[in-house]
């Protein structure tokens, strides 16, 4: 099964890796739009590093802060990837690690290290549509959704955006009936994603709030996920972003779940 993603996330994107590049085609097909959005959102440079600050707010306006370092390594352009997220703050999640091996031909592999229990937990494929560390982002938002799992249709084409509706081929496996993306025509950044529940009611929204250019790449540096049912939201901010820093493949192995590599501690 071919794996690639068009979900904007933290976690980025989640955590979708923030950013994009510019394409020149004037009249792309729906398949071209989907593929270009995937590459623009997740494949900047060969690798990348960022400091991530996550602010989780519940319905009573109570907030929790999470800070982590995120590393990303592309194995092939538009293909397999690896992600390593090391939690730094607060103290109750310090040294927690989330490791993702993103595959193009089969399901992703995901592990979560819980230092308080000294436990490595495998994240099952069935858990990918559940909350990521108590936020309004999902595990699938981090590692991405398989574009082959959905049917894609151009619903509209405004002056600035492509409006794409995505409908799951296996609706019983997800909690949504469809989701719509607003994709910037100039740089293929998804600036908004709206999810409809099984009754066709809007219940979840992900938005890009701030975009700047880093090392020549337009990059999403602030994004928000809102749950319209629970009334909670999560804002993710990316700082100290660097691309093409020469990350080594051995960083993204289970040996570094219990002991973080130097690159995340500096």
> Distance (Å, rounded) from C-alpha 14 to C-alpha 28?
26
Give the Cβ contact number of residue 28 at 10 Å: 17
Asked whether residue 234 is domain-assigned, the answer is: yes
> Distance (Å, rounded) from C-alpha 63 to C-alpha 131?
16
CATH code, domain with 78: 2.50.20.10
Given a contact cutoff of 8 angstroms between Cβ atoms, the answer to whether 167 and 58 are in contact is: no
Structural domain count, the chain: 1
pTM of the model: 0.86
Give the mean pLDDT of the chain. Answer: 88
Encode pLDDT of 100-128 as tens digits.
998 877 888 999 999 999 999 998 877 88
Asked whether residue 84 is domain-assigned, the answer is: yes
Q: For residue 111, give the 3-state DSSP assignment.
A: strand
The confidence score (pLDDT) of residue 5 equals 44
CA dihedral 241, 96, 229, 153 (to 10 degrees): 50
Asked whether residue 266 is domain-assigned, the answer is: no
Among left, alpha and beta (phi > 0; psi -120 to 50; other), residue 215 is left
Asked whether residue 221 is domain-assigned, the answer is: yes
* Residue numbers of the domain that contains 221: 9-257
Asked whether residue 67 is domain-assigned, the answer is: yes
Could you tell me which of 184, 179, 183, 187 has the C-alpha nearest to residue 205? 179
Asked whether residue 2 is domain-assigned, the answer is: no
Residues 6 or more apart in contact with residue 230 via CB below 8 angstroms: 58, 59, 136
Q: Which phi and psi angles does 198 have, rounded to 5°?
A: -65, -20
Query: In angstroms, how far is CA 171 from the centroid of its own chain?
Result: 21
Burial class of residue 61 in the structure, from the number of CB atoms within 10 Å of its CB (0-12 exposed, 13-18 middle, 19+ buried): exposed
Encode pLDDT of 243-263 as tens digits.
999 999 999 999 999 999 989
Distances (CA, A) of 199 to 117, 147, 196, 202, 229: 40, 23, 8, 9, 13
Asked whether residue 116 is domain-assigned, the answer is: yes
Asked whether residue 137 is domain-assigned, the answer is: yes
In terms of DSSP H, where are the helices of the chain?
A: 30-42, 139-143, 262-265
Q: Which phi and psi angles does 168 have, rounded to 5°?
A: -65, 140
Encode pLDDT of 201-247 as tens digits.
999 999 999 999 999 988 899 999 999 999 999 999 999 999 999 99
């Amino acid at each position: 099964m071919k794996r690639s993603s068009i979900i904007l996330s933290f976690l980025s994107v989640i955590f979708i890796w923030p950013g994009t590049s510019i394409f020149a085609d004037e009249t792309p097909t729906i398949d071209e739009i989907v593929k270009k959005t995937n590459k623009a959102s997740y494949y900047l440079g060969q690798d990348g590093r960022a400091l991530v600050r996550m602010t989780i707010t519940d319905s009573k306006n109570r907030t929790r802060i999470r800070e982590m370092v995120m590393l990303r390594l592309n194995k092939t352009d538009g293909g397999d990837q690896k992600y390593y997220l090391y939690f730094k703050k607060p103290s109750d999640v310090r040294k927690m690690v989330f490791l993702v091996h993103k595959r193009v031909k089969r399901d992703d592999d995901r592990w979560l290290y819980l230092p308080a229990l000294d436990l490595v937990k495998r994240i099952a494929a069935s858990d990918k549509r559940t909350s990521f560390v108590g936020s309004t982002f999902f595990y699938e938002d981090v590692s991405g959704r398989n574009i082959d799992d959905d049917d894609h249709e151009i619903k509209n084409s405004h002056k600035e955006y492509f409006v794409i509706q995505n409908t799951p081929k296996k609706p019983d496996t997800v909690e949504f009936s469809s989701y719509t993306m607003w994709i910037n025509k100039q740089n293929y950044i998804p600036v908004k994603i709206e999810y409809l529940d099984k009754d066709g009611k809007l219940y979840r929204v992900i938005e890009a709030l701030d975009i700047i250019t880093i090392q020549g790449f337009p990059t999403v540096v602030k994004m928000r996920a809102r749950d319209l049912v629970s009334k909670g939201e999560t804002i993710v901010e990316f700082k100290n972003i660097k691309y093409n820093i020469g990350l080594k493949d051995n960083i993204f192995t289970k040996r570094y779940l219990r002991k973080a590599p130097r690159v995340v501690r500096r």
